[in-house]
Structure 1
Amino acid sequence: MEKYDIIIVGAGPGGLTAGIYAGRQGTKTLILDKNLAGGIGREVPEMENYPGFDLVSGLELAEKMKNQCVKNVELHENEGVNTIEKIEDNDYNFKVESDEHSYLTKTVIIATGSSHQQLNIPGEEEFKGRGVSYCATCDGMFFAGKDIAMVGGGNSALQEAVFLSNLGCNVTVIHRREEFRAEQYLQDKLKEKGIKTIMNATVEEIKGDMLVNSITIKDKESGELKDLEVNGVFISVGYKPHTKLAEELGVDLDKNNQIITDKNQKTNINYVYSAGDVCGGVKQWVVACGEGAIAATSAYKDIENS
């Protein structure tokens, strides 16, 4: 059974940064991810607020981070972790079971990220891949010249609305509140592009035949229902943290089902740390990177002092 100093579960921005720091500290480190490195960060169409870049896509940045990371650590993509078990051993504290192998490790960094939150409305599941999407970068090119609804009011929603508009889509942003939660520069871009908005409204149903052809919108003040003809619905209403492994291990979670950490990214279990969107706090790429750096540094210090 292969043995490691640090195993990082998840290769999103937090996990990759933890790997970069762990590798440069000289530890034997393995990163495992059930998908490709970068996580849902790969879907970000354009970032203008990541330090050092005037404009960079999530995919480009993820690939740069991956290439930097694998210089010093092992990265196994498409190898999901099934269990993390605490064991009693003088040198190794955890057994990690993946789809393919078993590993022993002194420390674990949980950076399992999150997935797209769903609306859970009629038609959403039925029309996935047939007009319903959660990724403008992945699917936007199929809707050039067509009418699109973007549901959401945060940074991701407005970033993707602008991206879709640049592709030639006729975009309408629908948000359940009276004001957007997104940063002001994104709101300004929405106005510059002339992108239509429907505020204080919810999407109640997605309709169609073989493909999406309309949605039903409810005005939250009047309760009035009306149909809007669209060819596609892009949904960006938040993220659901992936905490199953952490919960099974006994890691404490907050009321929003996010991992609780201290300022050193330590959890309530010795030698277990966490970073990125699976934790509470600001959901930003740069924040996940900072947390990953802290988690790897904390793990290294604890290994040295053990």
Structure 2
Amino acid sequence: MLKRQVDHESSVVPWSSPSSDSYLIRPAWLLHSSWSWSSSGDSLSTLGRKRGTQHWKLIFCLVLVLLKTTSVLGIRVIVPQPAIVGQNARLQCLWQSENIEVYSIRWYKNGEQFYSFIRGQNGEKVNHKMAEMEVDLLESDETTVTLRDVKPNYEGIYRCEVMGNPPLFRSRFSSANLTVMNQPQIPVITGFSQRYRLPDTLRVNCTTHNSRPEALISFYVNGKVIHQDSGRVMNMGVVKNEYLDTFTSSSQLTLPLSEKYVPSLTLTCRAQVKGFDINTEQSETAEVYRTSFFPSSSKGNMESHSSMALVASAIGIVQILQGLW
């Protein structure tokens, strides 16, 4: 047991034997208290005081190390929204610290390290050559890593870890999800005619290939959208290309024509990648005629019919004159 001397009176205060853990939570004023071993351990009093002094020296040294070790205050990862297949993607790791003593910045994709920057006099860039990923070292540094020629398999969770100096290597990290998009090809319109005559029906298909994620198809006639819930648009389905990890989308438009489409109409098919403001489109224009006595829309045929009508009228007039004579 330990005995504490207060006001020169021998009042004994129970206390457990000192340990390294207990010293971490005892207040600083205990450093200046006078302690001595009880009568049963007077021969160990000097050794006990030495042990206590050593423990406090060790704790004091650890505190100095902690003060000199970088403390990262904030960290944030910024990725493209989205990354485009075939283009380069620039990922950023923005961080702040209490001082400049940062040892390294490390990048991981789905838990696997692929790039690191070791700070020093010159700075060392390390490409860990993760399978099927290309890092552009010339366009990468301690805050940025550039991925070259993005592919669908680049999609995943990217983590940046900022690590402090030894011996503790304290670190903090932040993550962000990278979505990879493949811009759809220009839509293909089938079933479209260059001429229509009222009351014909416009019936066309629109198909777009190699989008990722799948594309949504919209129809516009003379600049006005034909809404999906109008009953005029039918989704023909989505087919996944397993090899390229892309999709083919197709839709059909059925639209009875009316006077408002005379003398012409412009049809636009637009393919927009689902979830992103990225699209491609294709347009076609057709002439629209009103109904006439002669149904043929060919100019040559119309002239032929007009000539025949004049001949028939002339013959009729001749016959009438002959009857009069």
- Which interval holds the TM-score relative to the shorter structure? under 0.3
TM-score scaled by structure 2? 0.22
Structure with bigger helix share is 1
Higher radius of gyration, 1 or 2: 2
Greater relative contact order structure (CA < 8 Å, 6+ sep): 1
TM-score scaled by structure 1? 0.23
